[in-house]
Structure 1
Amino acid sequence: MVSRESQTVLVVDDEANILEALRKVLTKEGFRVLTAGTGRQALEVLRKQPVRVMITDLRMPGMTGDDLLKAAKAITPEVEVIVMTAYGTVENAVEAMKLGAYDFVSKPLKRATVVAAVRKALDKQALVVENKQLKAQIAQLAASNQRTIIGNSQVMRATLEMARQAANSSATVLLLGESGTGKELMARYIHEQSPRIERPFVATNCAALPESILESELFGHEKGAFTGAVRARAGRFQEADGGSLFLDEIGEIPLPVQVKLLRALQEGEVEPVGGRTTKVDFRLVCATNRDLTQEVKAGRFREDLFYRINVVPIRIPPLRDRLEDVPLLADHFLRMYVSRHGKSVEGISDAALEVMGRYGWPGNVRELENAIERAVVLARGAVIDVDDLPPELRDPQAGHGRQLTFSVGTPLEEVERRMLMETLKFTRGDKRLAADLLGIATRTIYRKLESGQIQDESYTPHREKGDKDTKGVIH
Structure 2
Amino acid sequence: MKHVLVVDNQISNCELLSKFLTKKNYTVATTTKGNHALQMLQQKKYDLILAEYSLPDTTGNIFFDEVQKINPTANMILMGKEVNLKNVVSLIQKGAKNFISKPLNPDELLDAIREAGNGTNYKSPIDSTPIQKAKDRPKAPERVTGKSKKARAIIEQVERVGPTNFTVIIQGETGTGKESLARLIHQKSMRKDGPFVAVDCGCLSRELAGSELFGHEKGAFTGAVFQKAGFFEQANGGTIFLDEIANLPMDIQIALLRALQEKVIRKIGGTKEIPVDVRIIAATNENLSQKSGTANFREDLYFRLCEYTLDVPSLRERPEDIPMFIDFFLEETSRELGRPKAKVCKEANALLEEYDWPGNIRELRNVIRRSTLFADSENIIRKGCLPSRISNYKSSLYGSDEPTDSKGFLSVTNKGDLKSTALKAESKRIMEVLEKVRYNKTKAAEVLNIHRKTLYVKLKLLNIPC
TM-score for the superposition, normalised by structure 2: 0.53
Q: Could you say which residue in structure 2 is the equivalent of 1:394?
A: 391
| TM superposition shift of 1:223 | 1.1
Closer, same or farther: CA 292–354 of 1 in aligned 2, 3 Å: same
Matches within 5 A, 1:40-439: 148-275=143-270, 276-380=272-376, 381-396=378-393
Give distance in 2, aligned partners of 1:145 and 1:218.
34
Larger Rg belongs to? 1
Residues 138-189 of structure 1: per-residue CA shift (max 9 Å, x gap): xxxxxx9587133111100110110111111101000000000011111111
Give distance in 2, aligned partners of 1:194 and 1:288.
22
Give distance in 1, aligned partners of 2:237 and 2:327.
37
Find the residue that maps to 1:215 and give its secondary structure.
helix
**Amino acid corresponding to residue 215 of structure 1 in structure 2:** G
Q: Could you say which residue in structure 2 is the equivalent of 1:433?
A: none
Find the residue that maps to 1:212 and give its secondary structure.
coil
| TM superposition shift of 1:218 | 0.3
Q: State which drifts further: 345-354 or 273-282.
A: 345-354
Which segments of 5 or more consecutive residues in structure 1 lack a partner in the other structure? Answer: 1-143, 402-438, 440-475
Percent of paired sites with the same residue: 40
Give distance in 2, aligned partners of 1:400 and 1:316.
27
Find the residue that maps to 1:245 and give its secondary structure.
strand
Residues 302-353 of structure 1: per-residue CA shift (max 9 Å, x gap): 0000001111000111100111111111011111212323444542223322
Closer, same or farther: CA 161–210 of 1 in aligned 2, 3 Å: same
| TM superposition shift of 1:228 | 1.1
Find the residue that maps to 1:157 and give its secondary structure.
helix
Give the conservation status (yes or no) of the 8 Å contact 2:176–2:314.
Answer: yes
Find the residue that maps to 2:198 and give its secondary structure.
strand
Give distance in 2, aligned partners of 1:208 and 1:170.
27
**Amino acid corresponding to residue 277 of structure 2 in structure 1:** D
Give the conservation status (yes or no) of the 8 Å contact 2:141–2:328.
Answer: no
Give the conservation status (yes or no) of the 8 Å contact 2:141–2:331.
Answer: no
Give distance in 1, aligned partners of 2:281 and 2:233.
15
Give the conservation status (yes or no) of the 8 Å contact 1:200–1:242.
Answer: yes
**Amino acid corresponding to residue 156 of structure 1 in structure 2:** A
**Amino acid corresponding to residue 354 of structure 1 in structure 2:** A
Q: How many residue pairs align between the two structures?
A: 259
| TM superposition shift of 1:260 | 0.4
Give the conservation status (yes or no) of the 8 Å contact 1:167–1:193.
Answer: yes
Give distance in 2, aligned partners of 1:146 and 1:233.
38
Give the conservation status (yes or no) of the 8 Å contact 2:215–2:228.
Answer: yes
Give the conservation status (yes or no) of the 8 Å contact 1:392–1:398.
Answer: no
Closer, same or farther: CA 190–145 of 1 in aligned 2, 3 Å: farther
Give the conservation status (yes or no) of the 8 Å contact 1:337–1:373.
Answer: yes
> Which stretches of structure 1, 4 residues or longer, exceed 6 Å deviation after superposition?
397-401
Find the residue that maps to 1:162 and give its secondary structure.
helix
Give the conservation status (yes or no) of the 8 Å contact 2:144–2:328.
Answer: no
Closer, same or farther: CA 372–383 of 1 in aligned 2, 3 Å: same
Closer, same or farther: CA 345–151 of 1 in aligned 2, 3 Å: same
Closer, same or farther: CA 282–328 of 1 in aligned 2, 3 Å: same
Find the residue that maps to 2:319 and give its secondary structure.
helix
**Amino acid corresponding to residue 232 of structure 1 in structure 2:** Q
**Amino acid corresponding to residue 293 of structure 1 in structure 2:** S
Give distance in 2, aligned partners of 1:148 and 1:354.
24
**Amino acid corresponding to residue 233 of structure 1 in structure 2:** K
Give distance in 1, aligned partners of 2:391 and 2:300.
47
Give distance in 2, aligned partners of 1:398 and 1:342.
37
Give the conservation status (yes or no) of the 8 Å contact 2:140–2:332.
Answer: no
| TM superposition shift of 1:209 | 1.7
| TM superposition shift of 1:399 | 8.1
**Amino acid corresponding to residue 346 of structure 2 in structure 1:** D
Give distance in 2, aligned partners of 1:346 and 1:305.
47
Closer, same or farther: CA 326–235 of 1 in aligned 2, 3 Å: same
Closer, same or farther: CA 348–250 of 1 in aligned 2, 3 Å: same
Give distance in 1, aligned partners of 2:190 and 2:141.
22
